[in-house]
Structure 1
């Protein structure tokens, strides 16, 4: 189930966050909700997916 809250105001970040698997969304929200741009968000998500 996707994360019910999308914390990003930037449309590109919203779209990317919404496209991520639910476990990645959850981890980002718990560990690093303050990413500043879509590149940081992408890097964070890739790190999470590669660690599993």
Structure 2
């Protein structure tokens, strides 16, 4: 995969749908989860992820 321009809302991580049908990462069917980070991304270390009814 070649790297194009990054997007401040993460559109560069959306794999499916693509083209004119591209969506925000939250509703995408498939995302690029490659470990290489883009210039406008940060890597964080998460110990616990707390999900409750209000989370989704």
Q: Which TM class, normalised by the smaller chain length?
A: under 0.3
Larger helix proportion, structure 1 or 2?
A: 1
TM-score normalised by structure 2 residue count: 0.25
TM-score normalised by structure 1 residue count: 0.26
Larger strand proportion, structure 1 or 2?
A: 2
